[in-house]
Amino acid sequence: MDSLPELVGTVHIILGPYRGNPIALYMCQDESTCRISPRIYPWNKTVGTGETPNKAAADFEARWKETDLATDMYTGPHWEGGIKPEKPKPVPPPKPATPPAAKTVPPQETKPPAPKSPVPSDAPQPAPEAKDPAP
Protein backbone atom coordinates (compact mmCIF):
# COMPACT_ATOMS: atom_id res chain seq x y z
CA MET A 1 0.00 0.00 0.00
CA ASP A 2 1.36 3.40 -0.96
CA SER A 3 1.78 5.96 1.76
CA LEU A 4 0.42 9.47 1.53
CA PRO A 5 2.79 11.97 -0.10
CA GLU A 6 5.15 13.55 2.41
CA LEU A 7 6.85 16.93 1.90
CA VAL A 8 10.61 16.32 1.87
CA GLY A 9 12.10 19.38 0.21
CA THR A 10 11.85 22.23 -2.27
CA VAL A 11 13.38 23.54 -5.48
CA HIS A 12 13.34 27.20 -6.53
CA ILE A 13 13.19 27.94 -10.24
CA ILE A 14 14.45 31.34 -11.36
CA LEU A 15 12.81 32.76 -14.47
CA GLY A 16 14.62 35.85 -15.69
CA PRO A 17 15.24 38.39 -12.91
CA TYR A 18 12.47 36.90 -10.75
CA ARG A 19 12.79 34.10 -8.27
CA GLY A 20 9.70 31.96 -8.45
CA ASN A 21 7.84 30.33 -5.63
CA PRO A 22 9.35 27.14 -4.29
CA ILE A 23 8.24 23.92 -5.87
CA ALA A 24 7.52 21.27 -3.28
CA LEU A 25 9.11 17.83 -3.49
CA TYR A 26 7.02 14.95 -2.20
CA MET A 27 7.97 11.42 -1.30
CA CYS A 28 5.75 8.36 -1.58
CA GLN A 29 7.02 5.19 0.04
CA ASP A 30 5.87 1.59 -0.28
CA GLU A 31 7.44 -1.55 1.21
CA SER A 32 10.56 -1.60 -0.95
CA THR A 33 10.79 1.69 -2.86
CA CYS A 34 10.81 5.43 -2.22
CA ARG A 35 9.84 7.89 -4.96
CA ILE A 36 10.54 11.64 -4.80
CA SER A 37 9.13 14.09 -7.33
CA PRO A 38 7.51 17.51 -7.64
CA ARG A 39 3.75 17.58 -8.21
CA ILE A 40 3.64 20.45 -10.69
CA TYR A 41 3.72 20.26 -14.48
CA PRO A 42 6.15 20.05 -16.38
CA TRP A 43 8.64 19.04 -13.71
CA ASN A 44 6.57 16.16 -12.36
CA LYS A 45 8.24 13.92 -14.96
CA THR A 46 11.44 14.00 -12.90
CA VAL A 47 11.20 11.17 -10.37
CA GLY A 48 13.95 9.90 -8.11
CA THR A 49 13.66 6.32 -6.91
CA GLY A 50 15.62 4.37 -4.35
CA GLU A 51 15.46 1.83 -1.55
CA THR A 52 15.72 4.56 1.11
CA PRO A 53 14.74 8.25 1.17
CA ASN A 54 18.42 9.23 1.01
CA LYS A 55 19.06 7.09 -2.09
CA ALA A 56 15.88 8.44 -3.70
CA ALA A 57 17.04 12.01 -2.97
CA ALA A 58 20.43 11.35 -4.60
CA ASP A 59 18.69 9.81 -7.63
CA PHE A 60 16.35 12.81 -7.86
CA GLU A 61 19.27 15.25 -7.78
CA ALA A 62 21.03 13.35 -10.56
CA ARG A 63 17.91 13.29 -12.72
CA TRP A 64 17.10 16.94 -11.95
CA LYS A 65 20.51 17.96 -13.32
CA GLU A 66 19.62 16.20 -16.58
CA THR A 67 16.53 18.39 -17.16
CA ASP A 68 16.42 21.21 -19.68
CA LEU A 69 17.13 23.83 -17.00
CA ALA A 70 20.57 25.40 -16.83
CA THR A 71 22.26 25.31 -13.43
CA ASP A 72 21.79 29.08 -12.99
CA MET A 73 18.00 28.73 -13.47
CA TYR A 74 17.33 26.92 -10.19
CA THR A 75 18.55 26.56 -6.64
CA GLY A 76 18.27 23.40 -4.67
CA PRO A 77 16.96 20.92 -4.11
CA HIS A 78 16.79 21.86 -0.46
CA TRP A 79 16.03 18.84 1.70
CA GLU A 80 14.06 18.83 4.93
CA GLY A 81 13.56 16.26 7.65
CA GLY A 82 17.13 15.08 7.89
CA ILE A 83 17.34 13.76 4.33
CA LYS A 84 20.92 13.68 3.11
CA PRO A 85 21.34 12.49 -0.46
CA GLU A 86 23.36 9.30 -0.39
CA LYS A 87 25.70 9.55 -3.32
CA PRO A 88 26.86 6.28 -4.82
CA LYS A 89 30.39 5.38 -3.87
CA PRO A 90 32.81 6.45 -6.55
CA VAL A 91 34.06 3.61 -8.64
CA PRO A 92 37.83 3.44 -8.36
CA PRO A 93 39.60 3.72 -11.68
CA PRO A 94 40.76 0.40 -13.05
CA LYS A 95 44.25 -0.53 -12.06
CA PRO A 96 46.69 -0.46 -14.93
CA ALA A 97 47.58 -3.86 -16.21
CA THR A 98 50.90 -4.97 -14.87
CA PRO A 99 53.25 -6.08 -17.62
CA PRO A 100 54.27 -9.71 -17.42
CA ALA A 101 57.41 -10.22 -15.42
CA ALA A 102 60.33 -10.14 -17.80
CA LYS A 103 62.94 -12.80 -17.36
CA THR A 104 65.82 -11.35 -15.49
CA VAL A 105 69.10 -12.28 -17.06
CA PRO A 106 71.99 -12.25 -14.60
CA PRO A 107 74.58 -9.71 -15.64
CA GLN A 108 77.40 -11.33 -17.49
CA GLU A 109 80.93 -10.58 -16.50
CA THR A 110 82.52 -8.45 -19.11
CA LYS A 111 86.11 -9.27 -19.76
CA PRO A 112 88.33 -6.57 -21.17
CA PRO A 113 89.36 -7.39 -24.70
CA ALA A 114 92.68 -9.19 -24.92
CA PRO A 115 95.51 -6.98 -26.11
CA LYS A 116 96.33 -7.55 -29.71
CA SER A 117 99.65 -9.27 -30.13
CA PRO A 118 101.79 -7.95 -32.93
CA VAL A 119 101.46 -10.03 -35.97
CA PRO A 120 104.84 -11.08 -37.35
CA SER A 121 105.31 -9.83 -40.80
CA ASP A 122 107.98 -10.33 -43.42
CA ALA A 123 109.02 -6.67 -43.38
CA PRO A 124 111.83 -5.84 -40.97
CA GLN A 125 110.85 -3.72 -37.99
CA PRO A 126 112.86 -0.53 -37.44
CA ALA A 127 115.16 -0.78 -34.49
CA PRO A 128 114.34 1.38 -31.53
CA GLU A 129 116.41 4.51 -31.33
CA ALA A 130 119.17 4.40 -28.84
CA LYS A 131 119.35 7.24 -26.45
CA ASP A 132 122.60 9.16 -26.25
CA PRO A 133 124.12 9.05 -22.83
CA ALA A 134 124.37 12.46 -21.33
CA PRO A 135 128.02 13.75 -20.95
Beta bridge partners of 11: 23
More confident: 57 or 71: 57
Q: What average pLDDT does range 43-66 have in this prediction?
A: 85
Phi, psi (deg, nearest 5) at residue 22:
-65, 145
Name the residue ranges covered by the structural domains of the chain.
6-79
Name, in order, each residue with C-beta under 8 angstroms of 81's C-beta and a sequence gap of 6 or more.
8
pLDDT digits (tens, 9 = 90+) for 8-44: 888 888 877 666 778 888 888 888 888 888 888 878 8
Task: Classify residue 58 by its DSSP letter.
Answer: H
pTM of the model: 0.58
Name, in order, each residue with C-beta under 8 angstroms of 63's C-beta and a sequence gap of 6 or more.
46, 47, 48
What length is written for the chain? Answer: 135
pLDDT digits (tens, 9 = 90+) for 90-115: 677 777 777 766 666 666 766 666 66
pLDDT band at 82 (very low <50, low <70, confident <90, very high): confident
Mean pLDDT score of the chain: 76
